[in-house]
Amino acid sequence: MSTKWKTIITIAVIAVIVAVAVVLINRPAEQAAQPEPSEGTGMVAGKLGFPVSKINIGEGGTKTAADGKTPIGYNGTCDSAAQAAGNYTHLIEDVNASTWAQQKKTLAEVGKQGPWIGRVTSSGELVANAKDLPPGAFDGGWYSRSDVAAGGLYRVASCEAKKQAVVQVFTGGTTARVNSAPKAYFRTVTFELTWANDWQISDAAIVQSGQDFDGRVQDAGPTSLGTAFDGESAPALKNELVNGFFADASREGWVEYANAKR
């Protein structure tokens, strides 16, 4: 090959290298800064390191239950099971004497009869049936009030669309204390949902330390048990809190709702 052609080829190669470099240099910085998708999910990692889904708490249903606020009418997908679990959490977590009767009706509307109902309604029944309301209620008669977005995490332990699903929800909330300010908390609640033209609760548990929902979940899930947070709302989650909550629980499978409070 002549020296002339070698020179022309060398110049062409240099031109290509320069062009590529210009494209890379001028690529928008924000594009390079986007979080990497989590493997196999198509989701991006959130502030706490969990994948963030595209589903929102408060959505997924096509209508509302008799209480006028609980979404029902799901499409039967596993994503909708995760939405239903988040949307049903207040029905087993909240206790307010003035709204308890309606809450029980709604729970019966979205749930199948079973021993689980007695377990999750025991504290509410004590308050509602007390001759004199116990002291400690806060902010308009609340004895326990959930805040699912404050926890903002869910884990689908198992699911077969339009058949059955087991879903864990990590929720925040506030509970009353006698002669003291209310205390905020974080804990895991677990649902078994069965399809009957909609997702219906067929079992549920307010899970604490050491429980695994009769082997249907990997572990009990995170909890703030033993940690006190004074105030009428759960604090914003930070890495140090999450690390403590997950000290005895696996992070595997946990996903953030899209509208979790962060």
pLDDT tens-digit readout, 166-206: 999 999 999 999 888 999 999 999 999 999 999 999 999 98
Residue 70, CA atoms < 13 Å, CB-side half-sphere: 26
What is the overall mean pLDDT for the chain?
85
Please state the rounded mean pLDDT for residues 24-34: 35
* pLDDT 10s digits, 11-26: 343 443 334 333 333 4
Q: Tell me, yes or no, whether 109 and 228 share the same domain.
A: yes
Closest CA to 100 of 143, 68, 65: 143
User: In this structure, are 10 and 92 located in the same domain?
Assistant: no
Query: Do residue 29 and residue 57 come from a single domain?
Result: no
Q: What pTM did the predictor assign?
A: 0.82
Helix (H) or strand (E) holding 105, with range, is: helix 100-110
Structural domain that includes position 229: 45-256
Q: What is the three-class DSSP state of 13? A: helix
Residue 262 lies in a domain: no
> 23 with 131, same domain?
no
Answer whether residue 8 shows pLDDT above 90. no
Number of domains forming the structure of the chain: 2
In this predicted structure, what is the pLDDT of residue 149? 98
